[in-house]
Structure formats: C-alpha cells, structure tokens
Amino acid sequence: MKYCFTLILLLFAVIFKSEAQNNLSQSSFTHKDSVSTSMFSKALESGYIDTKYFNFDLRYLIKYNQYEGFRTGLGGVTNSNMSSVLKFDGYLVYGFLDEVFKFRIGSSVNINRETNTWLSVNYTEDLQEIGSSKFITDQRFFQLFEPRLLNIESFYKHLTKAVSIEHQISENIYAKAQFKTSDIDPKIKYSYNHKTLGAIDTYRLSLFTIAAQINPKSSSKKPFISTETSKLQGPKVTVQYTKSFSNLFKSDLSFSKIDLRAIQFFNHPNNHVTEVVIRSGLAKGDIPISHTYHAYPNNVNKETILQRFSVAGTNSFETMFFNEFFSDKFATLQLKHRLNPINISPWLKPEIVLIYRYALGNMSHIKRHEFIFFNTLDKGYSEAGLEINKLFFGFGLSVAYRHGAYHLPDFEDNFALKFTFNLNLNR
C-alpha cells in the first residue's frame, strides 16, 4: 500500500509537470490558465498554497509511515498581508493507523526588522523519529514526499512547550536559541535504567539549545531568510549545543550534546560537481535512546533485494537497516560526485552520481537501554553506491553496496536496489 501511495504521488507530479510544460508551449494558452499553472507550479516548488492572509503548508497534506499509516491534515502560517511583524502558525493532522490527532500552534513577533530577529512561542503534540537529531537553525524544507518516512516505525510522542529567539548576526551568520520542556513517551518497548530513578519508560526533559549557521561565501544580505537553502554557496557550517537540566520544571534526566555539520560543493572545470557532507555528534550524561543518534538508515529488514526495494533518500545510508545502530558519539562522511548529463536525446538526459558513505560511532552504557537491541559503529561502516537519475520523467535507479567491517554473510543482503526521483519544475 505504501509503495502504491508513493507511485500515485510521484505520477501526479510527473503528469502535472508534463501538462504544465505542454500548456506553456501552446500559443493559444490563455492568461487565466497561465496564472493558474504558474501558481500550481510555485506551490509544488515552495510547498505553499498562498491565499490573501494565510499560506497553506503542503507538508501536512498527506504522508505515510509505518506507525501512523496515512497521515493527513492541514497547516500553514499567516503572511505579511495580515501583519509584517506578527505571524501565527500551526497544523492539525490525523494518523489513520494509530487513530490519534496531532497538532501544533505557535506565534512569532518580529522585534527587530533590520536583524530579522523573531521571538517565538509554540505548543506541539506530535511524533518524532527515535534517534533523529535536528538542527534548530535549519530552514523549512519541502519535499513532495519523504523517502525515509515510508519505512520508519520507531517514534516517540512528545508534548512540547517551547520559546525561541532567532537573530541574523551578520549576512553570513544566523543564530537561534531555544528553551523547551517535553514530555516523552517512546512508542516502542523501551526503558531507560537510571542510576537513581530506576527503569523509566516515560520522562520529562527541559532542554536549552543554541545553534549558529555560518555561510562565509554568501553574497545575500539576508541569506538565511529564504527557504531555498540548497542554493546557498558553500561551505555551510552549522554548530549546535544542547543541555538537558534535571530537576528544572520537573525534568528527569541531565545530559549535554554538541552537533556539527559541514557542507561543501566543489565545481570542477568539466562541469562535474562534488558534494561533501560531514556530520558529527557527541552526547554525555543520562541520555535516553530517543535523543541519541542514528546515521539516517534507509533499508528495511526484509529477506530479498526486491522486498527491500523502495525509494532512495538524499543523504541516507541505503544499505543500513532501520534501528540497526545507535550512538551517543558518531561521525559520518558522505561524498557525491555528479557527472555531466548524458545527452542521448532531447527527452533522455540521464545523470550519473557516484556515492561513498562512511560512519563511525560508539555508545556508552549500552545496558542502560532496556528492551531494545542494537549494534555500534565502532568498527566503521562503509557503503558505495551509484545513481542513474532522470531516466524517465524524473525517475531513476540507485544501487548501493555494503562493504568493510559490517559486511553481511549473505551476499545479497549487502545490496540495496531502489529508485530515485528528481522533480525539476524548471525547463
């Protein structure tokens, strides 16, 4: 069902793209239809459907994962036509498999227009993937569908109250600070064995996070306001520190984390492009499994290659199984080398991408994590891959091979065969 849903969604995008381009090329194309198509194209590219006072966010329209099944709802944010200094945002979604509503409501006020300084408060009741670590400075990013999300089954529920402030320090440095309290309920069989509290399966955290995103070569006066963060010139470095305080607002656990991410693009004379992504994290203290690290795995635990066939992610380890590894200290290196498109015909110009990924990590006090079994990355995890993109209306194929210390005994278990999808609304 999930793959049928994915194909339907992708085919919808492809059909729309083809129709939009055909219509644009017709001389009899009316102004009304042109405006309508332009608005729809913009919506698919930005992820928003704009109205006079409110922009509907397409991220909440429909998704699928293993815990909620189909997840659908509405959400969005007020725009500058309502107010240029005050905005409200929120969403309401429903999971058909867990039969639970999730929502968020928040507001922000611009306290300094020159430095684009915003003070925000929000309340959220929702799910988050176990082991996912996010940077609070990351700008909103829209994907027509999220490949990894289809196969994720390990989540934790959180009830979060948060206050944050974001500030443009300079044209190259953007910073954000956040304080939040969260009531955490892992949706798996799990307990954290605390030295004084004993085994706890639900807990409260009081978290202070401060982060900075640095883009030295940006030429824009306000480079981090745009949602098109992928177009920023590298290198782009993000540093984040998180501290959990015990006994503050009845918080149960104390730990600290520091995260680092660096992205750099190298443009070669032959128009080839090399992308380098380095990600690392270090956590110390009483840190539960929900707030540890995984390496963004994207492989389901099935017997054959065809049963594991799904959609390749952007920066995920395609041969690494979900919940196979967790770490409280880790580092990953991802290399992508994109060759020139092969000009076979006007409609067939496939792109070849060579990929290498490496992960190294470890976990302290493994026995504190009860009822969950996982491995560590202390031996170093390696995979190499090849993508042939845009073979047919944006569709392509991806193959990856797992080698090195974590090579599996059965030869075919080391392979991941998947399809890729790259939607480009521009001609």
Task: Name the token pair of 284.
Answer: 């110390």
Question: Residue holding tokens 């032959």?
Answer: 270
Q: Where is 34: in which H helix or E strand? A: helix 31-46
pLDDT tens digits, one per residue of 349-360: 899 999 999 999
What's the pTM value of the predicted model, to 2 decimals?
0.85
In angstroms, how far is CA 196 from the centroid of its own chain? 35
**Maximum distance among all alpha carbons in the chain?**
76
Percentage of residues in the chain having pLDDT higher than 70: 85
Q: Where is 388: in which H helix or E strand? A: strand 381-392
- Of 62, 292, 299, which is closest to residue 186 (Cα–Cα)? 292
Return the pLDDT at 225: 41
pLDDT tens digits, one per residue of 225-281: 433 334 445 689 999 999 999 999 999 999 999 999 999 999 988 889 999 999 999
pLDDT tens digits, one per residue of 164-187: 999 999 989 999 999 999 999 999
Contact 287, 127 (CB under 8 A): no
- The average confidence (pLDDT) of the chain is 86
Task: Name the token pair of 91.
Answer: 């969403």
Return the pLDDT at 20: 44
- Residue 263's Cβ-side half-sphere holds a number of Cα atoms within 13 Å equal to 12
Return the pLDDT at 312: 86
Higher pLDDT, 215 or 161: 161
Return the domain boundaries, the chain: 1-45, 47-266, 293-427
* 159-188: b (≥16 Cβ within 10 Å) or e: ebebebebbbeeebbbbbbbbbbbebebbb
- Has residue 105 got a pLDDT over 80? yes
In angstroms, how far is CA 376 from the centroid of its own chain? 23
Surface-to-core class of residue 264, CB atoms within 10 Å of its CB (0-12 exposed, 13-18 middle, 19+ buried): middle
What is the Cα gyration radius of the chain? 22
Q: List 11's β-bridge partners, or say none.
A: none
pLDDT tens digits, one per residue of 129-146: 999 989 999 887 777 667
Contact 242, 223 (CB under 8 A): no
pLDDT tens digits, one per residue of 395-411: 899 999 999 999 999 99
Distant-in-sequence, close-in-space partners of 241: CB < 8 Å, separation ≥ 6: 209, 210, 211, 256, 257, 258, 259
Alpha carbon distance 145, 149 (integer Å): 8
CB neighbours of residue 282 within 10 Å: 16
